[in-house]
Structure formats: structure tokens, C-alpha cells
Amino acid sequence: MKMQSLRDGNYYACKQMKQRFESIEQVNNLREIQALRRLHPHPNILTLHEVLSKFAENAKSFFRKENHGRRHPLSEKKIMYYMYQLCKSLDHMHRNGIFHRDVKPENILIKDVLKLGDFGSCRSVYSKQPYTEYISTRWYRAPECLLTDGFYTYKMDLWSAGCVFYEIASLQPLFPGANELDQISKIHDVIGTPAQKTLTKFKQSRAMSFDFPFKKGSGIPLLTTNLSPQCLSLLHAMVAYDPDERITARQALQHPYFQEQRATEKQALASHRRACFPEHPVAAEPLRAGWQMSKEGRKQKQSLKPEEDHPKRQGLAYIMELPKLKLSGVTKLSSYSSPTLQSVLGSGASGKAPVLRPLKCVGANKKVAHVPSSSEGAAPGPLPRPRLNVIFL
């Protein structure tokens, strides 16, 4: 319902729930509430502003009901504008793991900008099949929803969007079936019977068997003469019978039909960036001059002859010889397996490398016995742990 708030005077879309809830926790656990919060913010999806309890009794104190305006034919430029926004909303939903399952004109609100609403039938893309069979309004229900036991995917939203596409262009429904069998018949009258592989795919998930007589199909009726060939191309891609061959929302946004919308959106984004991040040509000149000076200085340095000639190797670079270090107080290296430790620690009295033993930690209240040195006639004890100095060049 279109309602007007008495507090701020703005118009809002209001949905009255038929189910009764005992607590606010039950409301927050609704799939529709969680989906709206997860998809926020997006310019083409309704924003959840408030959840009112006991709406039936207190409706008069918050809102004033307004009648909907009459439908009127739209130009192809307007149709392109609105369908681009509808595909953007579906792409945002599908990339966030949600598909709507009830896309129809009654759930689309337009006031300068198109917004998709009523997420009461939405479902997670990653939830386990089969889903609910009787879903979506009949005129906008995809063939896989009619011919399988709930084995359908997010591609059903693209079929519904294609039906909406045709309806806003012609003001007439594309497949106005009176019941499910008549709905299938209306689809076959326009598109024709599907290929045998598509029917076999549907039969694998259906308890009952079905066979349809071959029908070529009359094609999508051209009730409006101002639709371009690119418009009809996108419409045929959205209502493809086989869901595996049906276009996705992301692919639809890249269709040539929306080339003008993409260019306009790109230009608006560039203008927004220039407004938020203005350029400073005055400050850029010194930086450019400094960059030129640095480049010239680097060229001069490269042109100078180096003091020492280094042997060059074939390739992009050559290895330079590192300067030799002059270390004092270090024993000359010998042919031990661990030359670094041997040169630093030295050798013991017997000529062998000393064995490093762990130090024992002694408490503060205990006395340490005096260990005589080797000059006093006692056996030589463990050498003190050396201090290693690491120098990074």
C-alpha cells in the first residue's frame, strides 16, 4: 500500500502482514526482514524504515492511505531506464545469495527511481532443493516452476523480469494463463514447445510424465512499434525456456540494449568523482617539474664513469662484489664442519670443539659453589656462552 506519514509527510510503501506475531524476535527472524537488512543499501531495492506492531489498530495515527495512479504507456527510453534498474536490483540480490521468487509489477515501485519490494517469498540461493512448488504469481511463473517438483533456481527471476519487461512496454501481460495447464499452453503458443533435452531435464524431477504436441509458436507479439531489435533480443534472452540457456542479471546489464545507460552511468560517476576529488593543476606543476629534474639528474649520474670497473655478465643485471670485512680478534677459519662456531668459540685443551651445555638457573636464596679454574688443577668446566654480534650491512 502507498501510505503517507503524518510525522514527516513523506510517502512510504507499507505491507501489512497476515500472520500474527507474539514478539519482536519472531518479526526479526522473518526471512523478508533479514533479506531487506542484508541487501541494504541499494538504490533499486526498498529500504526498511520501520516495523510497526498492532498496525491494524494504530494505522490512523501514523499513515494516511493514498490511491495508486493510473498506468500509462512509456517511451522506450523510459523502459530502458527502468529495466536497467530492475536488472541491477536482481544482480545485487543474486550476488548476495538471495532470489526474489515473486517479481511482478505489483512489487515494483517507481517514483523517478525503480525500487523492488515485497521480499516475503525470497529464498537463499544456497538452500537445498526442492523449493515450494506454488510460488510466484501465475502469469510470471517460469516453466521450471510449473513442470518440476520445486527444482528451480534464481533464473526464475529473469523469466519474471522478462514478463514485466513486455508488460510495461505493451500494457498487456505476455502469458495470461487462467490455470497452470492454460499457463503452459499460453507459453507454448508464443515460444513453442521446448527441445526434447529440456523436457527430459524437467521429467527427471517430476513424478508424473508429460508430453506436449509439437508447436512452433507465434513469437512474441509486437504490440508496440517503437521497440528496437536490441530490445527484442534482450526480451527473448530473458524468457528462454531452458533455464540453463537463460541470461543472468549480470549478463543482462552488459547487453547492447543498455549501452546508453552504461555510458550515462559512467559519465555520472566521473562527474561525481570530479566533484568529490577536484584536481589542482597549480600544485601539479611543481611536482611535474621536480619529476623532470629528478629524471635529468638520474640521467647525469648514469652518464658518469664509475670509479671501479666491475665485470659485467650477459643479462639484465650483474652481481657486484661485496667489500671485504676486517674483523679483529677472530681465529682464522679452518676446515671444520661448522667454521663459524669453531672460529668464534675456539678449541678446548684437547684440540676438540667444546660441548655446549645448558646453564642451570639457581634461585636467589641458594649459594653457588666455587668452581676452580683449570690453572688450579681442576677439570676444565664448560666455557661461558659467547656473545654473538650480528652486523647488518
What are the residues whose beta carbons fall under 8 Å from the beta carbon of 275, sequence distance 6 or more?
Answer: none
Q: Which of 102, 118, 211, 242 is catalytic?
A: 102
- For residue 134, count CB atoms less than 10 angstroms from its CB and return exposed for 0-12, middle for 13-18, buried for 19 or more: exposed
What are the residues whose beta carbons fall under 8 Å from the beta carbon of 37, sequence distance 6 or more?
Answer: 48
| Radius of gyration in angstroms for the set of CA atoms belonging to the chain, rounded to a whole number | 39
Q: At what angle do helices 76-95 and 155-170 cross, to 10 degrees?
A: 160
- For residue 99, count CB atoms less than 10 angstroms from its CB and return exposed for 0-12, middle for 13-18, buried for 19 or more: buried
- Between CA 165 and CA 168, with CA 167 as vertex, the angle to 5 degrees is 70
β-bridge mates for residue 116, sequence order: 45, 108
CA gap 379, 263 in Å, rounded: 90
DSSP 8-state assignment for residue 213:
-
State yes or no: is 102 an active-site residue: yes
List residues with catalytic annotation.
Answer: 102
